[in-house]
Every structure is written in structure tokens, then in C-alpha cells.
Structure 1
């Protein structure tokens, strides 16, 4: 006789407790916190790199500037601001400041003039597209060369037996073989000219982009009002380009004050400190005199000057936005 088996009973499931209002509020808080922390999670790697590569070296340099005999002594002594006093009483430092200002102001002003002139020409409807393309390639070439190539190229051109002296002598403008980079009276002007030649494309490209973004309706309205070419340039072009001009001028000023490679590879700060600037002055303190404490003090002073310029740049950008 077969045994009849009853179907197995289903196990009773424990009732799921209903989610209360506290659990929903907690989930919403966790979700909001995740959304707020997500951007910081993406920025964390960059922040770590900035701390390692920027904040830490700055703190070390500031610390070195307050000590005596850094690197050379095992136990450097704390001397406060004596290194700063030594830098500020050094006559070469003030000569470097003067040369830096002359070099920077001249470069920025001429960069703007040449860049604006070439940008206006390349934006003119009088030139064909092929001619504009050819001129753009020619005018942007100086910006494509590295600093090393620019320095070597112009050292050859400005040498006593170089092309520049040959052309000037052939036209009767100079006599003999001029030492452009070795003469104290011409070295700073020669280095400034080289920096102008290699840096004007930065202004040219930026201003050309600004010119192409000016609405044509403004010029048409100005012509309807009877404005000529100069009036259009003065009352339409310059006001529209003013934000770009100020931004580019501040950036160029900051970069030019920190120019080192070009001067070091052409004149080395000489002859007789004729082209000594703040960057070469600080470099020589550290790696010629091996006085890293005084060099750190000079570097901190340069950093403070750069921070002032950066403050004005950031302030302008905020007001522009």
C-alpha cells in the first residue's frame, strides 16, 4: 500500500518592517552628502600634487630664507630677516630690479603694438584668404621655436661676424663689427629685442580671435552714424578688445618678469650686470655663490612681487566675469 505524503509546508516569512520617516531622511542626507563630496573626490589627486609640487617647496624656501648656512651646515642657525636685509642692501639687486622693469615694460608694450598691428592686418577684408594664411604661418613662426633655439639663433645673428652686422654695415648704418650682446650699452636692448621677436605672436593670436568675435553690426551702426576708420577703431574696436588686452598684458607682464632661460643662454646676466634680472640674480646666488639662504630670501621677494601681479590678474578676471 503506497504511503501518501502531504505537501511540504511553506516556511513562514518574517514580516518586513516598514521604512519609517527617519530612514528616509537619513537616506536623503547620505545622498546629498555624496553629491557634495563627489567634486572634491575628483579634485583630490590634483590637490595632492599641488601640495607636493608647490606648497611644500614654497614652505621650504621660506624656511631656508630665515636660516643661515642652509645646505652647507648640518645645523643651520635661525637668523630671522638678516638674509632679506642682505638682499635689499645689495646694489646688484636694485640693478636687477631696474633691468627687470625696463625689460618687462618694453616687451609688454611692444608686444601689444606689434600684435595688434598684425592682428588688424590679418583681420582686414582687403587681403585674400591665401595671403592671410601665408602671413599667419610667417608671423607665428617665432612662437614655435623653443627658447634654446631662439637664443642660439640670435647669438649667431648678432655675433660680430653675423648677418645683422653685415646688413647694417652694407647699408652704412654701423661701422665695424658691433658686439651687440657683449657691449654693456647694447646688451639689454638686444635681449629685449629678442624677447619681443619671440613673444609677439601670443598677443597677435589672442587679439585676432578677439577681433573676429566683434559683431559686424557695431561697425555698420558706426558707419551709419558717420564714423570713419579711426573713430570705429577708437570707439568700437578698442572697447571690445579691452578685457582681452588687460588680461594679456597682465599675463605677459607676469611671464616676462620671470624670464630666465633666454637671458641666461644669451648673455648670462652680463656683461658687468648689464642684463642682470631678478631671475638670474637669484640663480647666481644659489649656484655661483652657493649661498642658498640669501638666494631663498631673494626668491621669496620675487614670489611676493608675482603674487601682487597675480592678485590684480585674478581681480580683473572676476570683474570681467
Structure 2
């Protein structure tokens, strides 16, 4: 035995302790995640392959029967289309409105006192829960509400419209309410990004004689693009899963006009008590969310 054998072994043991110690600290959190997230997801996946789960326990393997049933249901496909419309329209308008308001708040032409007031007003929708937002917009858009009164007095509409009860306007009304509720996260993120853009870029552009639109499209937006893409991906994931706002304003109606995947799954589970089929629908939503999350993680690593 050489005199250096024992110290080397001790060094190896210490190195292993340093390697595994962080994982030991994470163990309680990992156990909580496993119990609150992984276990329920595993149960939902299991239920989706059973003939009848929970209420009428039938653990026999059903294969892809419930998946075939939801894919054959026209309401599922209309819900998927409504989800895509609701999500894409919301994300795009969140980005546009958030960018415009952030540019306004970052402008040196605005008085500092006015800027402070506008900042509070613009961020106000972010402070409300979806339940409060649903109540606000139901009151504003009811037939005798202020929106109908203003539009009628201006001659834009000839008669009062039941925005949430009309199949032709319900989805647009819910989407508008969600746009109003969600733009502040873009505004705050983009405003932080604007304040981090080096002033030298704009000074060099001024020397070259660049106009305002040229500086916007060739300096500001390219510098903000990593923030815009990241927040857009997160907003897409969050908006796709919105439930309380739609449920409390329209309940997915009228006549499935605002039915989205979340309300469709909820009705399968708690209105029709078809928990196995609802689990299959939930698995589809889960797979879409996982795909978007992986895309977001890849984008973050690419940055």
C-alpha cells in the first residue's frame, strides 16, 4: 500500500459527497412535486385506458377506445379550433398592446408624473383574478351595460347586443376580455427590456440619419426579440389552459360557441361523469402543453 492511497480515497469520497449533497437538499421538493404533479398525471393517464374509472370502477383495459371517441366527437374538434383562435388572438394582441404601452411609458416626451399614473392604470388588469375579470366584463357587456349604451349612442350598432349570449359574438367577447386581462405581463417585460437597450445604438442611428420607424424596426424590436419570443411562448401555454374566465362568462356556450378544451374536459368529467373519456381529453391537453414546454426550453437553451 502506497502512502498516497488513503488520501486519494478520501479525496474521492469528499468529491462524491460534494456531488450528491445538492440532490439531497432537493429531495423534499422532489417528493412534493412527485406527489402533487407526477402522481396525479400518472393516475389520469391510467384512467384514460380504463373502460370506466372511479364512479363505476371497471379496471379492464380499454386500449385507445376513449381517444377514438373524443377524436370522433365534432365538439372536440370545434373546442380545439376555439382554443387555437382564443390563444393565438390573445397572444398576438397581448404582444402588440404590451409593446405599444411599453414604448409609450419609455418615451422621454411623457411627463414623469403622468408616466407614473399611466403605469398604474396599465398594470391594473394584472391585479385582478379571473373571477373578478369575468364579473367586470359581464357587467360591461350585458345588454343594458355601458358598452352597448356607448355603441348605440354613437350609432355604431343599431340595437343592443347580448355579447356573451350570441353565438356570433360570444367567442370574440371572451377573447377581448382575456386580451384586456393579459397584456400587462408583456408590457412589464418589454419595458424592462427597453430600459436595457444601450443608448449608443440610438445615438449612432441618429448620426446616420435614421427615422423613428427605422430605429424601431432595426434596433428596438431586434433587441427585444428574445424577450418577446420567450414571453409569447409562456403566454401561449398559459392562455391555452384558461378556464375560469370562459366558464364564468359563457360556460362554453351558447351552443358550444365558446367551448374550449378546458371546458370540454370539465363537462366530460363533472357534467357527464365520464371520467375515463375526460382523462383521455386531459392527456391530449397535457401532451400539447408538454410539446410547447419542450419548445420553450429549447429556445431558452439556444439563447
1:113 to 87, 96, 99: 96
Residue 252, structure 1, aligned to residue 235, structure 2: yes
Kindly report which structure 2 residues correspond to 1:191-206, keeping only aligned pairs within 5 A, or say none. Answer: 191-206=174-189
Structure 1 window deviating more from structure 2 (110-119 vs 69-78): it is 69-78
Deviation at 1:131, TM superposition (A): 0.9
* Matching residue of 1:175: 158
* Matching residue of 2:145: 162
Kindly report which structure 2 residues correspond to 1:41-80, keeping only aligned pairs within 5 A, or say none. Answer: 41-80=24-63
* Matching residue of 1:319: 302
Q: Indicate the structure (1 or 2) with the bigger Cα radius of gyration.
A: 1
Q: C-alpha separation between the residues in 2 aligned to 1:167 and 1:226?
A: 45
Deviation at 1:224, TM superposition (A): 1.2
1:263 to 227, 246, 254: 246
Post-superposition CA distance 1:249-295 (Å, at most 9, x none)? 11111111111110001100000000000000000000000000000
Q: C-alpha separation between the residues in 2 aligned to 1:59 and 1:314?
A: 23
Q: CA RMSD in A?
A: 1.1
Q: Please, which runs of 5 or more residues in structure 2 have no aligned partner?
A: none
Q: C-alpha separation between the residues in 2 aligned to 1:214 and 1:84?
A: 49
Q: C-alpha separation between the residues in 1 aligned to 2:20 and 2:84?
A: 45
TM-score by length of 2: 0.97
* Matching residue of 1:126: 109
* Matching residue of 2:273: 290
* Matching residue of 1:34: 17
2:213 to 227, 230, 235: 230
Q: Please, which runs of 5 or more residues in structure 1 have no aligned partner?
A: 1-18
Q: C-alpha separation between the residues in 1 aligned to 2:259 and 2:48?
A: 21
Q: C-alpha separation between the residues in 2 aligned to 1:68 and 1:56?
A: 20
* Matching residue of 2:86: 103
* Matching residue of 2:134: 151
Q: C-alpha separation between the residues in 2 aligned to 1:152 and 1:226?
A: 50
Post-superposition CA distance 1:185-242 (Å, at most 9, x none)? 0000000000000001111000000000000001111111221111111111011001
Aligned-partner SS, 1:76: strand
- Asked if 1 retains the 8 angstrom alpha-carbon contact of 2:50 and 2:58, the reply is no
Deviation at 1:58, TM superposition (A): 1.0
Post-superposition CA distance 1:79-100 (Å, at most 9, x none)? 1000000010000000001101
TM-score by length of 1: 0.92
Residue 22, structure 1, aligned to residue 27, structure 2: no
